[in-house]
Structure 1
Amino acid sequence: MPYSLVIFDLDGTLADSFGWFLRHVNDVADRFNFRRVADGDIEGLRHAGSREIVARLEVPTWKIPVIARHMRRLKSEHLADIALFPGTETMLRTLRDGRLQLALVSSDSEANARRLLGEAAAHFSWFDCGASIFGKATKFRRVLKRAGVAPSQAISIGDETRDIEAARAAGIACGAVSWGYAAPKALRALGPDLVFERMEDIASFLCGDAEERTGEA
């Protein structure tokens, strides 16, 4: 079915922030008293789901919102160290030119997201940021309502297992990118509707639907 709304994640999907995260995660671990991440832990964590990662790092559930707020503040101080993945702006512009509505749902703040996106922020019609680690499904439903789009007409695109789980909970299709935080094998194990190997593949696939709609208009 053709999609009319594409809901993007930010970190690991559009923004290349994994390196920044690894450079700062152990300082955050020390501050909030959870287990540090050793170099040998990284690949195993990339194959784990969000709940398993929280358990492995021994993060108390009640601390997660506090840690998330701290990470947003910390990230705002280092946005110059984080760039969009190559081809991101072109891909977003191609989708908008194809008459697709774009939304951003992220655990980061809207201010950080807009600063990171720069001029590319103008391609988005909807921002719903500050999502909790397990709260994206609610955000997806809210964006659908604001956009006036049925779940069957929307697809989310992210880089973590929780993005796929949230899309399923919200009743929308899900696409996974292979270049983000989670290992591609872990994402494929959850059976996403689409897996994108390259940034340009997103527009190539989704704009095929858009061109069909334009031809029918």
Structure 2
Amino acid sequence: MPYSLAIFDLDGTLVDSFPWFARTVNLVADRYRFRRVQEEDVETLRHASTREILDFLEVPMWKLPLIARHMRKLKTAAAATIPLFDGVDTMLGALVANGVTLALVSSDTEANARQKLGPLAALFADFDCSASVFGKAQKFRRVLRRARLEPAQAISIGDEIRDIEAARAAGITCGAVTWGYAARPALIAHRPDVVFEHMEEIAVAVVGLQRALCPPCLPWRR
């Protein structure tokens, strides 16, 4: 069935921020005294859950808010250098044109999100940002309440294992994109409802046009 609400993650889903993160993470590691990420560690971490990543980096939970605030400040300074993925504008425009309400739930600040999205920010009806590492499910529920929709009417679209886990906890459909932070096999192992290999597949699946016309022709359906 088509969805009335699409809740997007930002980094790794709409915004290509992984190169910036890779350049920045060890500066933050030195400042907050957690384990540096070596080049050979990157692929392993792309297959790990959030808790496994924190364990690998030896980051205690009490440091997470401090690290998150610092990362947001660094991202604010670098926002102009972090691009949108190709096709985001077309995809978001197609959703809105077909009556889908857009919301953004991100661990980044709303100000950073709006700056990165630029004019596309006006397409979003709701922003619920500055989410904690494990706080997205609660934000999904808040977005649903404000939209006055049931969980079955919404789909979450993100690029990390924690996005899948949060959507499950909130009772909404979870879509996973394969071009972000987490590796495709790691996402598949957590059984998202929909897997998106290409940006243009999102609008087709969310609006439901091709699903109604040709269900067997959906290569990104699991």
> Do both share a fold (TM > 0.5)?
yes
Q: What letter is aligned with 1:186?
A: A
Contact 1:47 1:182 in 2 (8 A): yes
Count of residue correspondences: 212
What is residue 84 of structure 1 aligned with on the other side? 84
Distance in 2 separating the partners of 1:129 and 1:142: 11
Structure 1 residue 211 displacement after superposition = 10
Post-superposition CA distance 1:51-97 (Å, at most 9, x none): 00000000010000110010001100001110000000110010000
Question: Could you say which residue in structure 2 is the equivalent of 1:115?
Answer: 115
Quote the Cα distance in structure 1 between the aligned partners of 2:10 and 2:172: 18
**2:128 corresponds to:** 128
Q: Does the C-alpha gap of structure 1 residues 109 and 2 become closer, same or farther in structure 2, counting only changes over 3 Å?
A: same
Q: Secondary structure at the match of 1:89?
A: helix
Tell whether the 8 Å contact from 1:3 to 1:206 is kept in structure 2 after alignment.
yes
Match of 2:208, SS? helix
1:2 touches 1:210 (CA, 8 Å); kept in 2?
no
Displacement of 1:3 in angstroms is: 1.0
For residues 60 and 81 of structure 1, what CA distance do their matches in structure 2 show? 30
C-alpha distance in 1 between matches for 2:92 and 2:73:
26
Could you tell me whether the CA contact under 8 Å between 2:204 and 2:210 is conserved in 1?
A: no
How far 1:2 sits from its partner (Å)?
2.5
User: Are residue 195 (structure 1) and residue 192 (structure 2) matched?
Assistant: no
Matches within 5 A, 1:21-170: 21-170=21-170
Cα contact 2:103–2:125 (8 A) shared by 1: yes
| 1:12-56 CA-partner distances (Å, limit 9, x unpaired) | 000000000000000000000000000000000000000000000
How big is the shift at 1:207?
A: 2.1
Aligned-partner Cα distance in 2 for 1:11–1:171:
22
Consecutive unaligned residues of structure 1, counting only runs of 5 or more, are 213-217
Unaligned runs of 5+ in 2: 213-222
State how far apart, in whole Å, the 1-side matches of 2:111 and 2:100 are. 23
- Computed over aligned residues only, the root mean square deviation of the Cα atoms, in angstroms, reads 1.3
Which position in structure 1 is the counterpart of 2:183?
A: 183
What letter is aligned with 1:23? R
After TM superposition, the runs of 4+ consecutive aligned structure 1 residues lying more than 3 A away are 209-212
- Tell me the equivalent position of 2:8: 8
Q: Is the 8 A contact 2:94 2:203 kept in 1?
A: yes
2:218 corresponds in structure 1 to none
1:131 Cα offset (Å): 0.2
Cα distance in structure 2, aligned partners of 1:28 and 1:70? 8
Deviations along 1:145-174, whole A, 9 cap, x unmatched?
001110011010000000000000001010
Distance (Å, rounded) in 1 between the aligned partners of 2:129 and 2:154: 18
Given residue 105 of structure 1, which amino acid in structure 2 is its aligned partner?
A: V
> What is the rounded CA distance, in whole Å, between the counterparts of 2:2 and 2:87 in structure 1?
23
Q: Aligned partners of 1:193 and 1:209: how far apart in 2?
A: 17
Residue 137 of structure 1 and its aligned partner are, at CA, apart by 0.2
Rounded Cα–Cα distance in structure 2 between residues aligned with 1:74 and 1:210: 41
Q: Note the C-alpha offset of 1:210.
A: 10
TM-score (norm 1): 0.96
Report the identity percentage. 65
Q: Scaled by the length of structure 2, what TM-score is found?
A: 0.93
- Whether the 8 Å CA contact 2:159–2:176 is kept in 1: the answer is yes
Counterparts of 1:70 and 1:140 in 2: how far apart (Å)?
Answer: 24
